[in-house]
Amino acid sequence: AAPSTKVENGGLFGLSSEEFRDVISPDANERESTVSITVVGASGDLAKKKIFPALFALYYEDCLPKHFTIFGYARSKMTDAELRTMVSRTLTCRIDKRENCNEKMEQFLKRCFYHSGQYDSEDNFAELDKKLREHEAGRLSNRLFYLSIPPNIFIEVVKSASNSASSKNGWTRVIVEKPFGRDSDSSAALTNGLKQYLEEDQIFRIDHYLGKELVENLSILRFSNLVFEPLWSRQYIRNVQLIFSEDFGTEGRGGYFDSYGIIRDIMQNHLLQILALFAMETPVSLDAEDIRNEKVKVLRSMRPLQLEDVVVGQYKSHTKGGVKYPGYTDDKTVPSGSLTPTFAAAALFIDNARWDGVPFLMKAGKALHTKRAEIRVQFRHVPGNLYKRTFGTDLDRATNELVIRVQPDEAIYLKINNKIPGLGMRLDRSNLNLLYSSRYSKEIPDAYERLLLDAIEGERRLFIRSDELDAAWELFTPLLKELEEKKIAPELYPYGSRGPVGAHYLAAKYNVRWG
Ligand code: NDP
Ligand code: BG6
């Protein structure tokens, strides 16, 4: 489907099922094709939590093609019935809570199957292939593999699957989950490994933040509203803040987290992707390659991060209201004395004509006081502001701020100065507020729904191309090496706090106050 069709129709989820089917399968021949989706690592956390529920939501919305089959694949022994029971526990009907989804769930589960096999066994994947062919029943076969497994086995799975279970007459696509390496070298090795068996256009590197509604909306906000784009530069913007915070620790994922840390887990991918979309030049078209070309350009215009522009932190235990919240190193899967940051703040710069000198401040942390993901754009002062005196010395309070709240409670609001009604002349800061829950009655789809649908459709716009990935690692690799080589100790902050004070000094260095 052409991206422009989606935009004109206000998004795929705004289409009726009939219209939708026409968009994804424009001709009758295509309707006779099948899509087989294999979730590799189906016994795992992500598969249960996100992938199967997202596939169900797509099915519920009539977004999956007429002929589709879903297979779980992992080493664990399970029957089809056991997989269905496992999957059914996490299926929720997010679309319309009032509606009884049971019938649809049952229909969906009937189309889910399981095959147990080793990840490096071409024979086991050949068995899977046989089962897939039975379900495809001679129709044109399209196959999507979702690698929901630890990264050290990506290549062996791709090798076995492409040799034994790729489609013979349709497309074969592979969705790869992060982490895409730990640094430039390991990421390049992973890309080279994948490319021994796949073409770049078969690889769908997922960054689920790109599938979030408000991140996708960034381009619409910028490029289809006259009031924003002219202000989108160093001339009017003082600083941009990209904030990710979670109010829980690494609970249960300490083992994975300790070898990555917050910079690799959140900044190098989720926040940097948002930054690239925020700061890129206008793409030639909405075509995936045009958008990704602009993202690469902006990433390549950025300065690699400098140690003096970075603050790292790690949460420590804290007792509040009689409850003891554990510190990061209290997790048994985390080595004692670990220096892995669970918090980081950084100042980044884009050395191009549009953004020269504008600090882009990133902040990401676990076990903080709140859960939120936001983009905050602070505008410059009004030159010769007539109402300057009304604000006293704190002129910063008088500047406009645009906030794009990615989650929770999705919203876009603009802080403006306004006269308090009455006979006096007093100003206050008010919000022009677009709160999604008040404006739109439909539930916002989960990021994985959007991304899975795009992968089925072959829409690459929201997936990471290998040169984007290289450019992203180039920015972060020197810093990550320096942090590790110099064994920089993270500043400790209590669980549930606002994070290390160092983040405020860093912001102050660039005359920024965190929003
Ligand atoms: P899991 O650790 O739950 O692993 C998934 C499955 O892979 C397991 O059920 C297991 O299946 C198999 N597996 C686990 N460890 C090994 C191993 N050492 N060798 C071989 N097989 C193994 O991972 P998640 O489901 O949490 O995540 C899957 C992928 O998605 C990972 O790459 C992760 O980094 C990424 N991711 C996860 C997120 C999450 O919220 N969970 C968020 C973002 C990304 P079996 O033993 O049955 O073969
Ligand atoms: C994942 C990180 O990519 O994103 C996790 O590995 C993090 O550490 C998660 O918790 C946050 O995603 P979301 O969609 O819940 O904000």
| Closest residue CA from atom 4 of ligand 2 | 266
Ligand nearest to the CA of 264: 2
What's the confidence (pLDDT) of residue 19? 46
Contacts of 100 (CB under 8 A, 6+ apart): none
DSSP per-residue codes, 178-245: SP--SSHHHHHHHHHHHHTTS-GGGEEEE-GGGGSHHHHHHHHHHHS-TTTGGG-STTTEEEEEEEEE
Look at the block and give the residue holding tokens 């953004």: 355
pLDDT of residue 426: 84
User: Locate tokens 């062919």: which residue?
Assistant: 133
The length of the chain in residues reads 515
Between the CA of 211 and the centroid of ligand 2 the distance, in Å, is 13
Task: Please tell me if the CB atom of residue 468 comes closer than 6 angstroms to any atom of ligand 2.
Answer: no
In order along its 515 residues, the chain shows pLDDT tens digits of: 333 333 333 334 444 444 444 444 545 444 589 999 999 999 999 999 999 999 999 999 999 999 999 999 999 999 999 999 999 988 877 665 545 688 889 999 999 999 999 999 999 999 999 999 999 988 999 999 999 999 999 999 999 999 999 999 999 999 999 999 999 999 999 999 999 999 999 999 999 999 999 999 999 999 999 999 999 999 999 999 999 999 999 987 778 899 999 999 999 999 999 999 999 999 999 999 999 999 999 999 999 999 999 999 999 999 998 999 999 999 999 999 999 999 999 999 999 999 999 999 999 999 999 999 999 999 999 888 888 777 665 666 789 999 999 999 999 999 999 999 999 888 888 999 999 999 998 889 999 999 999 999 999 999 999 999 999 999 999 999 999 999 999 999 999 999 999 999 999 999 999 98
Q: Indicate which atom in ligand 1 lies nearest the CA of residue 45.
A: 25
DSSP 149: S
User: DSSP label at 370?
Assistant: -
Cα 367 from Cα 377, distance rounded (Å): 25
Q: Are 412 and 404 in contact (CB under 8 A)?
A: yes
Query: Residue whose CA is closest, atom 41 of ligand 1?
Result: 46
The ipTM estimated for the assembled molecules is: 0.97
pLDDT of residue 12: 41
pLDDT at 10: 36
Residue in 210, 212, 260, 270 to alter for ligand 2 test, most ligand atoms within 8 A of Cβ: 270
Residues 177 and 265: their CA atoms lie apart, in Å, by: 12
Which ligand sits nearest to residue 39's alpha carbon? Answer: 1
Nearest atom of ligand 1 to the alpha carbon of 76:
47
With a 6 A CB cut-off, is 265 part of the ligand 1 pocket?
no
Nearest CA among 283, 83, 73, 253 for reference residue 178: 253
Determine the angle formed by the axes of helices 272-279 and 466-485, rounding to 10 degrees: 130
Atom of ligand 1 nearest to the CA of 147: 29
Mutating to test ligand 1, I would choose from 73, 149, 251, 464 the residue with most ligand atoms within 8 A of its C-beta, which is 149
Question: Going by C-beta distance under 8 Å and a sequence separation of 6 or more, which residues neighbour residue 27?
Answer: none
Query: How confident is the model at residue 394, as a pLDDT?
Result: 67
**Before 335, cis peptide (omega within 30)?**
no
Q: Tokens at residue 182, please? A: 């730990």
Q: How far is the CA of 129 from the centre of ligand 2 (A)?
A: 33
Q: Are 466 and 287 in contact (CB under 8 A)?
A: no
Q: Does 265 sit in the ligand 2 pocket, CB within 6 Å?
A: yes
pTM of the predicted model as reported, rounded to 2 decimal places: 0.92
Q: What is the Å distance from ligand 2's center to 372 Cα?
A: 11
Q: Where are the beta strands (DSSP E) in 335-475?
A: 343-348, 360-365, 372-379, 401-407, 411-419, 427-435, 463-464
The CA 332 to ligand 1 mean position distance, Å, reads: 19
User: Residue 190 in contact with residue 153, Cβ under 8 Å?
Assistant: no
In whole angstroms, give the CA distance from residue 90 to residue 425.
Answer: 56
Give ∠ CA 356-358-359 in degrees, rounded to 5: 130
Residues annotated catalytic, as ranges = 270
Between CA 85 and CA 213 the distance in angstroms is 30
76 lines ligand 1 (CB under 6 A): yes
Taking the CA of 373 as reference, the closest ligand is 2
Cα Rg for the chain, rounded, in angstroms? Answer: 24
Distance CA 324, CA 196 (A): 50
What confidence score (pLDDT) does residue 465 get?
96
Helix axes 52-60, 102-110, angle to 10 degrees: 120
Task: Give yes or no for residue 148 CB within 6 A of ligand 1.
Answer: yes
151 close to ligand 1 (CB < 6 Angstrom):
yes
